[in-house]
Amino acid sequence: MAVIRGREKKSGGEIFTASMADIVFLLIVFFVLTYNTEVDRTQVDLPETWVRKNIPKKAAVISISSPDQGEVVRVSTGEEMSLPVSTDEEVITFASTVVAQDPAKEFIIKADADVHYQKVDAVLDALKQSKVKVIFLLSDQKTVDG
Amino acid sequence: MGVFKNNKREIESEIFTGSMADISFLLIIYFMVTSVFSATRGLDFALPEDNNETPEIKQEDSIDVFVQPGGDLQLDGNPMAREQIADKLLPYIEETLRENPKKPVILRTDPDATYGNMIYVFDILRTPIEDGGIKIETISIPTQREISNIWTMLGVAQ
């Protein structure tokens, strides 16, 4: 008996990947445009406010970590990574140096909402003594639920 | 005469794109891991310009907002619970400013209060007043050192 050999063609399952390159490049362009190097990576729970204004890029940053993390003060010129400071005098020295180089330099205070005000007061005083003109208090957006 | 057929094969020029997907995904992962959606907004305040003239200080010429530990207020010496601040602070200030729109608001904070307590009140003071309302022209945030200096100038023992 003759055996009929079936000429089965293997049907290869294929995912259409032609548009993948477009999507990938779109994502890359998005990340390149929105890429933002953060000079201070202190994890803080910012206070929430209704009123919020845009903060200029490259402003100097002074951060104060939460009481759980020891309310550590760190300073950054806005271009280099932040460094911890231990005394108010060091904050004054830092701010005075920055202001001497750029008298119009803005400063950001990035402090945890639970920080004792005494600590913020000391930083504010240091900035005032250093003749800083504009200070921004970093905050999160307040919501109706919050 | 036999025609000699040139048996040239066309060489296909092709850029090898097999590894492009790997490179692209590597870039995406890099940007995703290193980029930070940072908070870039907040409350601003400008510090006064240096002035050599000594200002005449009259305590009654300002609105004194004192933030206490726990978030309660003392508004011109009168207590105000934290729950009442949102509803009662601005109307009080507006009423006072109608008599004298130039009156500055002095925001003081107890050293033992939290930064969040202070920001809560400062945010309310900075809230734009509705139509017909009066704008707060000056909000001053003196530091403990400045307050001590003022009390000393006034001859008031703390």
pLDDT score recorded for residue B5? 59
ipTM score over 0.85, yes or no: no
Name the band, by pLDDT with cuts 50, 70 and 90, for residue B20. confident
Q: Give the number of domains in chain B.
A: 1
Q: Is residue A118 part of a domain?
A: yes
Tell me if B131 is assigned to some domain: yes
Cα pseudo-dihedral B80, B146, B93, B86, rounded to 10: -50
A5: its two tokens: 């050999």
Angle ∠(A70,A74,A77) on CA atoms, nearest 5 = 170
Residues of B in contact with A41 (CB under 8 A): 36
Residue A131, in any domain of the structure: yes
Residue B32's pLDDT band, with cuts at 50, 70 and 90, is confident
Whether A125 is in a domain gets the answer yes
Locate A36 and state its tokens. 């933002």
Any domain includes B134: yes
CATH of the domain at A54: 3.30.420.270
CATH of the domain at B131: 3.30.420
Mean pLDDT score of chain A:
85
Bridge partner residues of B106 (DSSP): B64, B140
**Residue, of A13 and B127, whose pLDDT is higher:** B127
B113 contacts in A (CB within 8 Å)?
Answer: 116-117
Residue B48 in domain: no
Q: Tell me what the mean pLDDT of segment B25-35 comes to.
A: 79
Residue A95 in this model has a pLDDT that exceeds 90? yes
Residue B79 in contact with residue B87, Cβ under 8 Å? Answer: no
Range of the domain at A98: 48-141
Measure the CA dihedral A124/B128/B56/A107, to 10°. 20
CB B42 within 8 A of CB B72: no
Please tell me which residue of chain A has the smallest CA distance to B120.
A49
Q: State residue B94's pLDDT score.
A: 87
Total domain count for chain A?
Answer: 1
Domain residues for the domain of B149 are 62-154
Give contacts of B 61-100 with A, CB under 8 A.
Answer: 67
Do the Cβ atoms of B115 and A135 come within 8 Å?
no
The answer as to whether A130 is a domain residue is yes
DSSP state for residue B60 in the 8-state scheme? G
